[in-house]
Amino acid sequence: MPPDALSSRPVAFVLKLHRDALPARGELFGRVEHLANGTSAVFASGAELIAWLAGQPVRRTATFPHVLPPLPPIQP
């Protein structure tokens, strides 16, 4: 697939949480990968994950087929 074909698709990431991570307690650590450009990072906190995601290129288009509803809050 040519690189420009990937840039016209919605942005997608793979998030792999470490087996010892406890998301309900806010303990997030693992690995994240940007599927379109192949960059990846290891993160040791939710703040590191958000910072890395915020720094990734995003192509916004008016043709995105739908908007997902917000997720419900995590219950302890």
* pLDDT, position 59: 62
Mean pLDDT, consecutive 10-residue segments, the chain of 76 residues? 50 92 92 90 94 80 61 75
> Can you give the pLDDT at residue 5?
47
Cα–Cα distance list, 56 to 22, 27, 32, 46, 60 (Å): 25, 22, 11, 16, 12
Cα separation of the two ends of the chain: 43
H or E stretch at 30? strand 30-34
> What does the pLDDT read at residue 56?
84
pLDDT for position 42 = 96
pTM recorded for the entire structure: 0.62
